[in-house]
Amino acid sequence: MKAFGRWCLLLVCAAICLQVFFAMRIASMTVMAPESTSFERSQVWQVFSHQGRLPWRQSWVDQDRISPSLKRAVLASEDSAFTQHQGIWWSSLEKAWGKNAKAKAQAERRAQRQGDGKPVEPKIVGGSTITQQLAKNLFLSGERTLLRKAQEMVLTLGLEAFLSKRRILEIYLNSVEWGEGVFGAEAAAQHYFRKPASALSAWESARLAVMLPRPRYFEQRPQSPYLASRAEVIVGRMNDAVLP
């Protein structure tokens, strides 16, 4: 029992040290931009492992050099309440959980009708805020476990405590994936439109914003009818987006 107690104590100390490390990393981001994120490294390594090449296009630009249209489009598409919540939008999470549960039940019923007993995995609706997405991309893996989600929540609160909304959005726009090996607004603007992020139009910004949930998918399908129609919707919502 004493040995078990020591192991438990060591685990608690290790968990506390990990949280302190994360807090120090987040605090440093008030003045220093992160050189890379956990998500970027994992995606680049994945491509290198399968294709033997190392794609990584990224160029950090200050927030003033990112088109306001792109900021508004991303907020309208990904997190319309960004300036209102404290990192976690509970009503959005509740809706996402409800949609996921309904989709899973429908998939199970379809499988029963087909008689094979193997339901097709439904599309998962995330409901995550921009701050939550940034927390996951900066520090965590892509696995879906309760422990990882709990850590994401803690990191989200840490980001909101140490960084301003403007800084959170700036880091997010400079590190989010926009295609295979394409990270950040500047690289995306150059890759898709051959222009700097500061010169993006409203329509171009909306197309980039719509790509965010599935950037590599839409990179291979630039003529997707959904991409075009959804971009038109986002253009109509952009004026309602409140910038931090």
74-104 pLDDT, tens per residue?
A: 999 999 999 999 988 776 555 655 555 555 5
Find the mean pLDDT for residues 117-146.
74
- Helix segments in 29-180, DSSP class H: 38-51, 68-78, 90-114, 130-139, 146-162, 165-175
| pLDDT for the residue numbered 87 | 87
Q: Which CATH number fits domain 41-80+164-244: 1.10.3810.10, 3.40.50.1820, 3.40.50.300, 3.40.50.1260?
A: 1.10.3810.10
Return left, alpha or beta for 45; rule: phi > 0 is left, psi -120 to 50 is alpha, else beta: alpha
Q: Give the start-to-end residue ranges of the domains of the chain.
A: 41-80+164-244
Q: What gap in Å lies between CA 75 and CA 129, rounded to an integer?
A: 10
| pLDDT for the residue numbered 110 | 67
Q: 218 and 229 in contact (C-beta within 8 Å)?
A: no
Q: What are 177's strand-pairing partners?
A: 183
Residue 144 has pLDDT above 80, yes or no: no
Question: What single-letter amino acid sits at 197?
Answer: A
The model's confidence at residue 230, banded by pLDDT at 50, 70 and 90, is very high
Q: Chain-wide mean pLDDT for the chain?
A: 86
| pLDDT for the residue numbered 125 | 42
Least confident interval from 11-20, 51-60, 113-122, 194-203: 113-122
25-60 pLDDT, tens per residue?
A: 999 999 999 988 999 999 888 888 888 777 889 999
Residue 6 has pLDDT above 70, yes or no: yes
Q: Which long-range contacts (CB under 8 A, 24 or more apart) does 185-191 make?
A: 185/61, 185/66, 185/70, 186/58, 186/59, 186/60, 186/61, 186/65, 186/66, 187/57, 187/58, 187/59, 189/70, 190/57, 190/59, 191/57
